[in-house]
Amino acid sequence: MILFIAFSETIITILTAGRYIAAQQYTNIALIAVFLMGVFSFFDKIFIALGKTKLNLRVNIIGGFSAIAVMYMAVKIINILGPHGKVVVSLIMVVTAGLLVKKHLKLQQVT
């Protein structure tokens, strides 16, 4: 992922014959979104495997409402970059909620 981001301009230039250089920033954002979706999916599967479906629901609710609030502020205040930026922000919020719940579970000694 880091290598792709570092060389994304060159990769986009090669793949599009130099016609869509502006797509570089969107490609990087989409790549980050795909990575974060994988992390979220990992937490999702762990909670389901542990039989913590209510906990999984709470993580999704917290992450979803947090993402809506952050996206609203991002659009109004900093005019964030397109829909991919919003996906990245929402996935960051859901992954953060998952990490907080994981920490809470660890404190309760749930294995």
The span from the CA of 56 to the CA of 101, in Å, is 9
pTM of the model: 0.55
Residue 110 has pLDDT above 60, yes or no: no
H/E stretch holding 17: none
Which of 31-40, 63-72, 96-105 comes out lowest in average pLDDT? 63-72
Contact (CB, 8 A) for 32 and 88: yes
Whole-number mean pLDDT of the chain?
75
Residue pointed to by tokens 């996906």: 87
Collapsed DSSP state (helix, strand, coil) of residue 20: coil
Token duo for residue 17: 């014959």
Is residue 62 very low, low, confident or very high in pLDDT (cuts 50, 70, 90)? confident
Residue pointed to by tokens 């994304």: 8
Collapsed DSSP state (helix, strand, coil) of residue 77: helix
